[in-house]
Structure formats: structure tokens, C-alpha cells
Amino acid sequence: MKVAYLSTYLPRECGIATFNSNVVQAILTNLKRQGQSRQASGFGVALNDSDALDEYEYPEDVRFVIRQERQKDYVQAANFLNTSDAHVCLLEHEFGIFGGESGIYLLPLLHRLEKPLVTVLHTILREPTHTQKIIIQEIARRSARLVVMSRRGVDFLTGIYQIDPEKIQLIEHGVPDLEAPAVNPLLRASPFRGRRVLFSFGLLSRNKGLETVIRALPAIVARHPDVVYVVLGNTHPGVVRHSGEEYREQLKLLALQLGVDRHLVFINKFVAEEELMHYLSAAAIYITPYTNEAQITSGTLSYAVGAGAAVVSTPYWHAQELLAEGRGRLFPFKDADALAETVNELLSEPEQLAALQRKAYEYGRHLRWPIIGAEFLLVLEQARAGAETAGLPPRPLVDPEIMPEFSLAHVRRLTDDTGIVQHAKYGIPNLKEGYCLDDNSRALTMALMAYQQHKSQEALDLLPIYLSYIHYMQRDDGNFRNFLSFRREYLDDIGSEDSFGRTVWALGYLIHCAPNNSYREFAGELFFRSVPHFRQLTHLRGMANTMIGLAYYLKTHPDDEGMLAELGLLTATLLRAYAAHHGPDWHWFEEKLTYDNAILPLALLHASEVSGDEAARRVALESLRFLEGLSFRGGMLSPVGNQGWYHREPAGKVPLFDQQAIETMAMVLLYFQAYRATHEPAFIGQMFVSYQWFLGENILRVPLYDQETKGCCDGLQQTALNRNQGAESTLAYLISHLTVLNALALEHEYDPARAQAAPREPAPAQQELVPAP
């Protein structure tokens, strides 16, 4: 069986690289017993911590290198793995070794990966951030098995991350298959000669708590003057980059101040396992003084137990588990006095010391790498076998099972008696930013949709708040202001044309589906006062939003010749813009695609629905196909990002970020309206694919909809989610959700089989999608 290993790799000084090297060798040992050669056993995909591909002299079995902060490398790695002869992939996961916020760049690789995957989780947080929790859950979804190294890890995954226990495999951390040397050369060398050694090893960083041991040394040395504390290991490379050897120097200074500097020795190097065994067997006591409990796995602790060392440790999670039943001694975090008392007791009672060593050694025998390797090999073989026998059921055009339950919880949180607050910090309303007309108009539309579909009293109660805000922001001349402070002070004199058009849309929609005549008449009054400004609009998106409001009005009042004329004028302007700019390879209304792009063909589809204008319908569908060709990648929506936009000349690349929720909402609405115009089921399928952008089918493979707050994150940035959950994004999600539910109500009108029997004309070839400069 050939395994692809995704991990950091030696000679990079990294605990996970060492772990991976041991796993590779342990699996190879077991494969050799089955008669397989090293060449047939697998290869590596290495994670670099810099942009230099040649920074490390990797072994020849490393065939691909991912540079940590290069997003393209992750996609290319997935392609490399998919075309390789690997039967299964083994991933070593730690948040810090992958790029983006909390290593989020890993997710696009996993979602493109077509090989069965087993993931080893080195860190499982009890209190993860939103992003960290999403990442672990997404890894779980893509993995056949999750390997954890402690029972507490199993509990965390099932209780905190809601992961199926059937997916979780407990395999303890392996230890070298080595015995203590009969003659240890270290015992004849300084600082071990004639001394009793307290020992710690590993990469140095502040959370290791070495200062606690140094503070305990005066009390220890007072009773046992032959004691020396030896610390083996380099400073962590990340620490060196940011603060050099500051921590090591502080420890030396502390020892000097306490008068124990002659009893402290630093050995600043990275040693091989055979030499490490010499250190562990030469030490009287091994100490791990970590400063907090949040350590789910410690390779250094496992090695010490495996070597049969007498271990004294703080009670972090892995230590509590591994040192149970008399295999070690625990002392409280940062308690130098308790540490000194424990060490002095053990050094004074050789029988106790020997008992600890004996119990550790006996337990460590079943942790040796060949035994652990056999367990890994079995899990990998099961993952491979499961992938070969698994069959995928046909995917429905719309799958309501994956849709979250509809909730207005975050909308209520953002709404007060003035209107809906414009922005939020995370899920908390940001009152400093006040209110805007755009959001209250969207909120009015959303509440109407919710009332229509659910007969929700909760939604009905919100209607007068948003309508009152619109009324308050309408000027005497019928135009609208946009921004209002939290103190209800106007912040502008005339709002944007976008906010004007979105308000006309909301008022037209209210006229079309008002819950009673009072609302309809009030909306009609505000609507007609705004009409004189229709012909003053100069921006296409303002016109498009206004057209949609007019179309909804005309569905209720189809004989209003005046409003039909207004709609005709706006439609003609949009069609002239298209005629002026479109060409053989450019089917668009402007020389660039900017924001809220789908609103333009959407407006023409609405106009053609009430006017019967075939030219508007043709241009709408043609421009939809052009936009579609630019907005999908790998079967998922990837709308034009706001970092640079997409220009016709010079021919450039489609920017990936910053992707906004309103782009996705507009695509959902566009596809639904295209289905209504054509009855082509494929449009329903694309609508649902677009909607799933909110649920994690996006370029970063993370959901923007927050199941906890019931809000929606404000966008996809290059390295992370924008975790703020303002009104615009949350309303965009809810309107999209309600549109999908509306499509489900039309389910009887289409047969999913027709989507294959009568496919649409294909979209133009997709453009290469790369981040904008």
C-alpha cells in the first residue's frame, strides 16, 4: 500500500516533523514484514515555514513542497495527490503549520482531495475560536478517520466539536524502540559526571514553564547539592524569529539572581533519538513543568515514559492520563515549592524513584513505534477499503436536509425601535455605526418573505420598524437619505442611488405582497413620492434595483401605463449600456465587473416578466452565462472579489477576495428568476450551489453562516473570515435561504432528471482565478 504523508518534514526542527518521521518508519517496518519495499510504501508532501522551496534538504521521498502562506500551493498539492499513485493520505494536523488564520488554507486542499484521508490531530482545543472549530469539523467531514492520542481528545471531539465517535481512533503517541545503553557515554561527561540530573528537553518557548524548575532549584540544591538541571533543545524557530533568545537569556538571569546558575546547563541542539535515549536514561528525574492544562498531547512526555524515566510533571491533560496509576508524579502549575518538595522526596527515597521508573518502563513497552505503526497501518487500510466500496448517491438539485433552521435571532439582536443597526462586532450590534437605508430596505424585504412563507408573527412585528425607518429617511421631495446616527441624527442629505433603488425594490415588493391594505397604501404613498427621481438615475445598479421594485409593483397593477413607461425607459438604458460594451468575448454592461453584479441581469429578467420584452430576456440570459463563467470554480460559487474587481482591458485575472454576501444573494435571486423565466431545472441546481457558498462551499471552504449567533459573517478575506456579522451579510443570507425555500415550494414544477435530459447552453470558459495584486 502506498501512503502519501502530509506533514512538516525533517530536517525542519519541529516536533510534528519528528513524529511524522517516526510514523513513516513505523509503517514501513510493518510493510516490510508484508514483503513491500520502501519505494512502494509512499512519499511525502512537506510543509515549509517560508517561501523558499530549497530552505531544507528534504529526503528524496519528499515529492512536493507546500509553502505555508502560498494559497496556490495547497490547490496544486491536491492536484498532485489526485494524480499520484497513492492509495491513501495521512495528514498530521496542527493549526500553526498551515497558512491563513488558524491554518485555514488547508481546507481547499482537503475539499479537492480525491484520495481517502486519515488525519492525526495534534491539538484539540477545549475553547476553540469560531474558525478553529470550523476547521476541525471540516477536517472531520473530509477524513475517513481522525486519530487522537489521548482519551480526553476523544471526549473533546465528541462533546465540543460534535464529531461522530465512530470516526475517531485512539492511538497513543509512539516512543522509540530502544533500550537504555549498557554503558552510557554521558555519565562520564560533564555535566552528568558525578551529578544527579533533573532533565527537560524540547523546543524552548515560554509556555514550557522552565522558570518554575529554576525557582525550585534553591530548595532542591540546599538538600541535594549534587543536583544539576539540564535543558536540552533549541529555542523554537518561531520564537527566534520574533524575539531571538530572549527567553533563554531570562532563564539564565533568573538562575544567576537565585544563586543556582552553576546548577543550570543549557544544551542548545536538536538530537537524534538514540542520543536522546542516552540523556533520558542518564537523568535521575525528567520534568515537564508546562504552565497550563491545555496540552492534549506531549511527545516529550511520551518519550520520557517510554524510556522508563521517573517523571514529575504539572497536571496538563496528557500528563494526567499518561502518568496515572503510579507512572509519574504531578505538582500544581507554577508551584516551585511543591516541585521542590516532590523532587527532594524522590531523591531522598531511591525506592520510590525506582518504582516510578519501573512502572513507566512497563507501560512504555506497548507504545513502541513498531506496535503503534501496526495500528496506523490498520486504520489506513480500513480507510482505503472504505473508499473503494463507498458509493455516492445522486445529488438532488436542492437538498433541504443541509439547510440550517430559519431563525431571526440575529436580526432581532440588530433591530431596535429605530431600525436595524448597520454593523456588528462579531455578533454584537455596533451602535457607533448607526443605521442605513440599504439595510432597512433589505430587512423589510426579508421580513415580508418570512411572513409569506412561515406566517411568522415575529417577522410581522418587525415590518413597521423597517417601514417607519424608510418613511423617516424620505425627504420632502421624495428622495431618500441613507445614514442615520444612533442618536437619530441625519448623516447625509441625499443617499446613494443604490440605496434609493433598493428602497424602491422593497416598497414595490411590499405593494405586491402586503399583509394588509394599510401596509400597501402606506408603501404606495412612499413609492409614488419617489417616482420623479427615476429619470434622474445615472448609475446602472441604482436603475436595476429600481426596475425590480417597478416590476413587483406592476405585478399588482399591470395596467398602470405610467409605471410601464418608467420601466421601459430604465430597461432601454440598461440595454443600451449592454450594446455599447458587449463584444465577442465580453457579454457585459460595463468595462469591468465590480460589485452586486448579478443585479443587472436580474433586473432585466424581472422587467421581461411583466413587459414581455424579449430583448431584455435575451440579454439577461446571455449576460448570466458570461457572469457564470467568471463566478464558478471547481463546481462552487466564487464571485468576483472586491479587491481590484475584474477589468476587460487590460485582460487580467478575476480577483478572489474580498468576497461579499450580497454577491451571493444576487446570484441566488438571479438563478431563481432565470428558472421562473425558462423552467430549466439546471438553474435551480445553480441557485442551490450558490446558496451553499454561505454554508462552506466556497474558496476557503468555511461556512459564513454562524450556527451559534444565527448571523452571517461579513465576507471571505484572503486569509480568514471577516467574523463581524452586520446587517447586510445576515440579511443576504436570510433572503437567499428564503429564496431556496421558495424554490422548494415549486418542486412539483420540475423533475430533477430533466436537468440531465435537457442541459443548458454551457457557460463561457472559466477565467483563471487568482488574488488581485
For 47-90, how does the pLDDT look when each residue is reduced to its tens digit (9 = 90+)? 999 888 888 999 999 999 999 999 889 989 999 999 999 999 99
In DSSP terms, 118 is beta-bridged to 90, 145
DSSP state of 767: P
Question: pLDDT tens, 667-695?
Answer: 999 999 999 999 898 999 999 999 999 99
Over range 728-738, report the average pLDDT. 97
Question: pLDDT tens, 759-769?
Answer: 444 444 433 33
Q: Which three cell numbers stand for residue 479?
A: 428622495
Place of cell 514529575: 312
Fold identical between 3-174+371-388 and 185-365? yes
- The domains of the chain are located at 3-174+371-388, 185-365, 400-757
Mean predicted lDDT score pLDDT of the chain = 91
Q: Which three cell numbers stand for residue 725?
A: 456579522
- The answer to whether residues 578 and 623 touch, using CB atoms and an 8 Å cutoff, is yes
pTM score, whole prediction: 0.76
Over range 650-668, report the average pLDDT. 88
Calpha distance 38→597 (Å, rounded): 54
Does the domain made of 185-365 have the CATH classification 3.40.50.2000? yes
Model confidence at 576, pLDDT cuts 50, 70, 90, reads very high
Residues with Cβ within 8 Å of residue 256, at least 6 apart in sequence:
none
Domain covering 3-174+371-388, topology: Rossmann fold (3.40.50)
Residues with Cβ within 8 Å of residue 227, at least 6 apart in sequence:
195, 196, 197, 198, 217, 220, 221, 263, 284, 343, 347
Q: Picking from 107-116, 276-285, 390-399, which range would have the lowest pLDDT averaged per residue?
A: 390-399
| The CATH number of the domain covering residues in 400-757 | 1.50.10.10
Number of H helices, E strands in the chain: 27, 23
For a pLDDT cut of 70, what percent of the chain falls above it? 95
